[in-house]
Amino acid sequence: MREVGYECLGEFGIPGRRYFRKGGDERTHQVHVFDAGDRENVIRHLALCDYLRSHEGTRDEYAALKRSLARRFPYDIEGYCDGKDRFVRALEARALACYDDSWDRLYLAARSVQRPREVSPLVEAGSVAAALLTEAGNVYVGVCIDTACSLGMCAERSAIAAMVTAGESRIRRIVAVMPDGRAGMPCGACRELMMQLDPAAREVEVLLDYESRRTARLGELVPGWWADARMAP
C-alpha cells in the first residue's frame, strides 16, 4: 500500500491491526493480520465479513454502534473495543452458524500459488491462478502458462488437468484470480472444456466477484451450447 501513497500508522493499541491513511489525518483503511496457521481466527474473521456483506440491516446497526462508541471514547481504544465486544461476539456466533467457507478456501488456495515468474525467455507463468472444488470435496489449483506461441494454458485448465490426473472430473465450484486479486470470468475455451467434462456441468458455480460473492452457473455463461443433445444423460 505504501507504493500507491498510503502511510502505515501502526497498531493503534489493537494487536493484529494495521491502519493506513492517504493524504491527511483521517484513517482510510485497516488491515487485519493473522498468523498463517491461525485458522480458527481467520475463519472467524472471514465468517463475520461474509455475514456483514449479506445482511444490510446488521451492517448498518454495527456501523451505528461504532460511530457512537467513537464519539464516547475518542482517545480510549480499550473503552471503544469493550463497548462493541458483546455485539461482535453475538454476531460472530450467528455468522459462524451459517458460514460456508468453500469460496474463501478456493480463493485463498488460488492466491497461495499465484506467483508471477519468468520460466524462460519465452515462457511466463503464475500471473493468474485458479482453484476448483470437486463433487468429492477436493480442491485442485493451477496457474496460467503464457508462451511465445499458442502452446500456453489458462489457470482454470491447469487446475482441471490436475483434477483429471487425480482421477476426478466433476467440478462443483471454480474461481480464477486475476493479477489484481479480483475474481475473473473464465474464457470461452475454459468454459467449453468444463462443459465437455460432465453432463451436469451446467450447474458448476463460477465466482464472478469475491467481495460480493456474486456467482453464475456455467450454463448461464454458455447458452445454447452446441453439444447439449449429445451430453444429455
What are residue 140's DSSP bridge partners?
132
Predicted pLDDT of residue 18: 59
Spell out, as residue ranges, where the chain has pLDDT lower than 50: none
pTM tops 0.85, yes or no: no
Do residue 196 and residue 210 come from a single domain? Answer: yes
How many separate domains does the chain show?
Answer: 2
Helices (H), the chain: 39-54, 56-72, 77-97, 102-113, 155-165, 188-197, 218-221, 228-231
Contact criterion met (CB below 8 Å) for 226 and 192: no
Whole-number pLDDT of residue 12: 52
Same domain, 23 and 128: no
User: Shortest CA distance to 143 belongs to which of 161, 170, 165?
Assistant: 161
> How high is the pLDDT of residue 80?
85
**Residue 37 belongs to what domain range?**
2-97
Same domain, 59 and 122: no
**Residue 124 to residues 51, 127, 128, 188, 219, Cα–Cα distance (Å):** 38, 8, 11, 21, 31
Quick check: 169 and 163 in contact, CB under 8 A?
Answer: yes
Last residue of a domain, one of 73, 97, 121: 97
Domain termination residue (choose one: 59, 79, 97) = 97
pLDDT at site 2: 65
Instruction: Say whether both 122 and 204 belong to one domain.
Output: yes
What pLDDT, on a 0 to 100 scale, did the predictor assign at position 76?
87
Q: Rounded to whole angstroms, how far apart are CA atoms 108 and 114? A: 10
Judgement on whether residues 93 and 198 belong to the same structural domain of the protein: no
Burial of 232: CB neighbours in 10 Å, binned 0-12, 13-18, 19+:
exposed
- Would you tell me how many other CB atoms lie within 10 Å of the CB of residue 169? 13
pLDDT value for 230: 93
What's phi and psi for 71, nearest 5 deg? -70, -35
**Which CATH number goes with the domain that contains 26?**
3.30.460.10
pLDDT in the model for residue 188:
97
- Give the pLDDT confidence score for residue 127 in this predicted structure: 98
Per the rule left: phi > 0, alpha: psi between -120 and 50, beta: everything else, 13 is left
pLDDT of residue 211: 87
Final residue before a domain boundary, out of 44, 69, 97: 97
Q: Tell me: do 178 and 206 sit in the same domain.
A: yes
132/177 same-domain check = yes
Say what the pLDDT of residue 28 is. Answer: 54
Interval 188-205: pLDDT, tens: 999 999 999 999 999 999
Q: Are residues 144 and 223 both part of a single domain?
A: yes
Handedness of CA 203, 207, 208, 214 (dihedral sign): positive
CB 128 within 8 A of CB 142: no
Looking at the structure, tell me whether residues 107 and 219 fall in a common domain: yes
Q: Does 78 share its domain with 115? A: no
Question: So what's the pLDDT on residue 35?
Answer: 80
